[in-house]
Every structure is written in structure tokens, then in C-alpha cells.
Amino acid sequence: MTAPLVPSVEPSVDHVEAIAAMLRAGTDFDVYVGEPEPPDDELTYPHYIVWGAPASAGPYRLVGDGGEVWTRTQITCVAEAYLDAIGAADRARRALHRKRPVIPGRRCGDIEQDPEAAVAPPIPDPSVKSPPGRQVYITALFFLLHSSPRGDT
């Protein structure tokens, strides 16, 4: 008999890693968590940067912590051209929206694009230039994910 899966005590991290993995599997672009690892002159475009926030507990529990959490994750789309940034956003949405990640020891709901978050057109980031010196454009999408500890653990 195998030992039951014990949910991680860091579901915020689990959510970010699961979303980044789904983005890698569903697009052809590099995906970084928090910040790109390679030096600026080695980055490829377009690429994504995944930014997670600490989880919040579900609002319906009156006593104690049942391990149920909600997270909001930002996907920053970075590209050398305005239309490439929009296209990268479309690909990210397609790879994530209404998909259900698999996190050992947790039961996940569908990832949903945050309807409260304003989606803005890509803007040039004056602090970043691509290796050939081109302007870099960024836009961001926000996704929500709910998970709870699996009842069969």
C-alpha cells in the first residue's frame, strides 16, 4: 500500500509552479517565475514572467484553517513587437483559462481569467531593450485558482 499524499504547506508556491508548468506545456515560449534567469542578452522573445501572490483562505469557513486557498497570479507577456505581445497574451489565455492543474495532495478548480482585472494594451518598457536594441512591450493577464486538500489523503 502506498502512503497517502500529504498536501504541501506552501500552496501559494504550488499554484505558481503548476500555472508556470501549464504555460510551458501550452505555448512555445520561455516561462520564468519571478524574474528571468538568463542575462538580458540571452532572453528570447516573446516570453512570460509568472508572478504569484500569497494565497488567501476561502471566505466561507468560520473556524480554523481547512487548507482551502485562492490565489491570483499575474502572467506578464514580454515581446519585441506590440502585436507579438497581444498574441502571447492570447496564447497564455488559451493555455490556462478553464483548465484544471494537477497538484499532488490538492484538489484544484479550473483556472479562470480574473474578470475584475483590467486588461491593458501592451506598453513599451523604457527600462528594457532586447539584445538587438529593440523596444520591449509588456502586457499582463491575471488568473485565479482555488484549491483544497484532497479528501482522500
CA distance 91 to 32: 16
pTM assigned to the model: 0.88
Q: What pLDDT shows up at residue 153?
A: 47
Q: Is residue 113 one of the residues assigned to a domain?
A: yes
Q: What pLDDT shows up at residue 10?
A: 92
Around Cβ 106, how many Cβ atoms within 10 Å? 23
Give the domain range for residue 77.
11-149
Q: Is residue 78 one of the residues assigned to a domain?
A: yes
Q: Is residue 5 one of the residues assigned to a domain?
A: no
Q: What pLDDT shows up at residue 17?
A: 97
Around Cβ 31, how many Cβ atoms within 10 Å? 21
Q: What is the DSSP letter of 7?
A: P
Q: What pLDDT shows up at residue 118?
A: 81
Q: What pLDDT shows up at residue 116?
A: 87
Q: Is residue 31 one of the residues assigned to a domain?
A: yes
Q: Is residue 4 one of the residues assigned to a domain?
A: no
Q: Is residue 67 one of the residues assigned to a domain?
A: yes
5-43 tens-digit pLDDT? 666 789 999 999 999 999 999 999 999 999 888 888 889
Q: How many domains does the chain have?
A: 1
Q: What pLDDT shows up at residue 90?
A: 97
Q: Enter the C-alpha cell of residue 72.
A: 491570483
Q: Which stretches of the chain drop beneath a pLDDT of 50?
A: 153
Q: Is residue 3 one of the residues assigned to a domain?
A: no
Q: Is residue 112 one of the residues assigned to a domain?
A: yes
Q: What is the CATH number of the domain that holds 60?
A: 3.30.2000.10
